[in-house]
Amino acid sequence: MTDKLTDAKKKANEKWNDNNKERMRYLRSRSSAKSFINNRATMDDIKELRQLLNDREKNIELKKNADI
């Protein structure tokens, strides 16, 4: 597919990638998490992840309320 990209598009993609490294890291991590959950997680993994997500959600809510 990359063979079909114009040189201008390749250059634009490189520029975006260079300017958005943190966003790319976020998207890659999110994709990996979804893939793990959908394709590899056992019931024990899901239970542990559910607890981690609940804890994370509470922390985000506490921080959100503290910022108000």
Q: What is the pLDDT of residue 68?
A: 79
**Of residues 60, 34, 62, 59, the one with CA closest to residue 49:** 34
CB 16 within 8 A of CB 9: no
Q: Domain total for the chain?
A: 1
Q: What is the pLDDT of residue 3?
A: 73
Question: Which pLDDT value is given to residue 67?
Answer: 86
Say if residue 49's pLDDT is above 70. Answer: yes
Q: What is the CA radius of gyration of the chain?
A: 18
Helix, strand, or coil here: 50? helix
Q: What is the pLDDT of residues 8-46, one digit of tens each?
A: 999 999 999 999 999 999 999 999 999 999 999 999 999
Averaged pLDDT for residues 44-51? 98
Full residue range of the structural domain in which residue 34 is found: 2-67
pLDDT(1) > 80: no
Neighbour-count burial of 41, counting CB atoms closer than 10 A to its CB (0-12 exposed, 13-18 middle, 19+ buried): middle
